[in-house]
Structure 1
């Protein structure tokens, strides 16, 4: 399948991330590359069906939204299937009659957190079907929530035997909602939690900073953008070549306010707490494929 191909895509479990991806590929950044001929999305409830139809309504002529009872139909009508349901629901979804069989000749893109390509193959073919598992055309991916504004970072890794043509499709899909990087699966869990969890940890830090402003009598809405935009600007210096540690030293001038704040954080063990949190998340991600 070459570039400029028109794709028929199904998104199974089209929640927040699934909807962001759907919006991105229905309205691609550029006219070059692939395009979506038809998108079928499945959701859990009639209320979710209405939400997706309203969100993607401008492309209603290329869109079908179904409830989860018609997952198999959605897969059968597609060439590419994006599995976007929560990983805790996978056993129930895969247990539906005909679901596994429908996936076997499709290109499967999974954004289920913590589910390796090998585990995905076992879900489709069963525990003992090692040769069949290796034949599954599949990519495991982890985009973050910034896909909603097309500024996501997405990591993806191919299953054994996945073709270059299918990798091009996966790369195109995720570049519509931000930037995408291919990496080996051995590094995926730790890198995926950095992409998927680091943002929430930084948001916790920002929330704490805003609490300090409130404690000093300043209203949270009055300073929220000040804090967020200051953090964004500083973080953008890192890709420009400034190491985080060097930047921190430049800001923390002798006898100043920043060094006092940093010393308090070190006293509280904040740096090691961040490290421990990410390592715990990576361990959880590794365990999910076998749970």
Structure 2
């Protein structure tokens, strides 16, 4: 691993917020949901290790050079936390071990682990049958969406388990209710995005009695940097994308899912959620937070309501 970027910031005991003193690792914090989660944890006062493969010196296979883990760490610090950028490929167990060892040396604890690892959208081809998909491409998607999560949890959980009250979040796309009866239009994508839901369920069983909570969490129709680029819009003009895709009317900014993780981390009774599949919209209702614009979009509620083929008014789900 290369040298990290760690901005100067007041120590934990001088920081304020419901998560002051909390140490978090957001694996896959370069952009999108991962970045927003890191920033919102920082806004609540946490120290956040932000990992990923794109730095100011090196660009990952995703090819988006303008989004880096150093930027994420700076945003965390600006929000009120302490951001620590550490380059890491989470498919390499040695790099993950070095990362966890460093967190242990520097803090002796890990309170929150967010597996927001993916980066496989560029490989995704919808309406392509399993046997017509290049095998190497398909297996790479499984590595990025499943194997990386398993490696990270396996290595990081022993540190988290030293103290009761830890939180492990498996990020995915879709809820158990939505994904369960539906094929997600690509064999490998279906596996990559359904498996984290089962991972959280299985980990909750393994973690029973430890005081550590494991959940799966999905954003809704996420207005990530990549999605905004896809529609040719910005966060300020995002509604122009509705003309291309009507369901974009229920889209949410990454802030919503970031606030969802921060709310879970600050909830002393969060263990009641262990093993469950949750969504940002669901937790916004439960905890009372909103998106950056003050709305409370519920994308998965909206999509489930479309089961009869008749789109409901989008405004009813904002």
TM-score class, shorter? 0.3 to 0.5
Q: TM-score, normalised by structure 2?
A: 0.41
More strand by share: 1
TM-score, normalising length: structure 1: 0.44
Q: Which has the larger radius of gyration?
A: 1
More helix by share: 1
